[in-house]
Amino acid sequence: MRILFIGDIVGRSGRAIITERLPTLVSTWKLDLVVINGENAAGGFGITEAIYHELIDAGADAVTLGNHSWDQREALVFIERAPRLIRPANYPKGTPGRGAALIDTKNGKRALVVNAMGRVFMDPLDDPFGAVERELSACPLGDAADAVIVDMHCEASSEKQAMGYFCDGRASLVVGTHTHVPTADHRILAGRTAFVTDVGMTGDFDSVIGMNKDEPLTRFLRKVPGGKFEPASGPATLCGIAVETDDRTGLAAKVAAVRIGGVLEPARPAFWD
């Protein structure tokens, strides 16, 4: 199976490169599954129903969230009628939506997509490791699912890496999101799970993690807010991770970074070109 996970979309610039480039990538790379983190898609904060459908129409098979899941209040309602929108599984019982979904892929197989949120330097939710364990046990790779993708949305690199090893041999891909800066450690772990500490963002990198530079600088320099955070609107870089799995096991056979457009050095999976 050919899987593309695309990192946190930030604002209009990030959405524009998705609608412009993703349909061609799906066709050219013959992608079977596309997962996008969309928790910053609406002006940098949350997601709306219209944007969710925009991402699905562009070729996404599932959209994951994170700590900004409910910044757009409508998400609390429309998530119940958006079966491919996945919020962190370790939100408390009774939270709207779902923390995992079994997705029909473009090649007729089934993929489990799980979203979890870390607790280090973030709001203290329920245990993410316990939540992921429940989802993996209920829908094991190679039995109930042909592929398993875990989006670990958190601040600490250590917590993301711990989740990678926790899932090793039981997931096709564990990908870190949230910190918006792509790391260079993509690899296949000993148990054949592909992993990257942070996939990076899909947005304008002439910014402070996707936001116009002036307001973050003001807050760092003067320790007072000068206004609202606004997403940078320049040309975006699409950041992602490409994984090809072994059809017999669902585990990773190949992994590569993806960076398209904008100011970062380009990267594409040589095994698909």
pLDDT at 121 over 90: yes
pLDDT at 273 over 90: no
Q: Are 90 and 127 in contact (CB under 8 A)?
A: yes
**Residue 135: what pLDDT?**
98
**Residue 227: what pLDDT?**
86
Q: Are 186 and 257 in contact (CB under 8 A)?
A: yes
Of the candidates 68, 178, 180, 186, the residue annotated as catalytic is 68
Query: Rounded CA gap, 136 and 116, in Å?
Result: 12
**Residue 124: what pLDDT?**
87
| pLDDT, tens digit, 9 for 90 and up, residues 59-93 | 999 999 999 999 999 999 999 999 999 999 999 99
**Residue 225: what pLDDT?**
84
pLDDT at 183 over 90: yes
Q: Are 10 and 180 in contact (CB under 8 A)?
A: yes
Query: DSSP letters of 63-94?
Result: EE--TTTTSSTTHHHHGGG-TTEE--TTSPTT
Q: Are 139 and 102 in contact (CB under 8 A)?
A: yes
Task: Indicate the SS3 state at residue 199.
Answer: coil
Confidence of residue 148 (pLDDT cuts 50, 70, 90): very high
Cα–Cα distances in angstroms (integers) from residue 196 to residues 131, 186, 242, 257, in the given order:
20, 4, 11, 9
Q: Is 178 a catalytic residue?
A: no
| pLDDT, tens digit, 9 for 90 and up, residues 252-272 | 999 999 999 999 999 999 999
pLDDT at 223 over 90: no
Contacts of 56 (CB under 8 A, 6+ apart): 63, 84
* CA atoms within a 13 Å half-sphere pointing along the CA-CB vector of 167: 39
Average pLDDT over residues 192-201: 98
Average pLDDT over residues 209-227: 91
Query: Rounded CA gap, 209 and 265, in Å?
Result: 17
CATH number, domain 2-272: 3.60.21.10
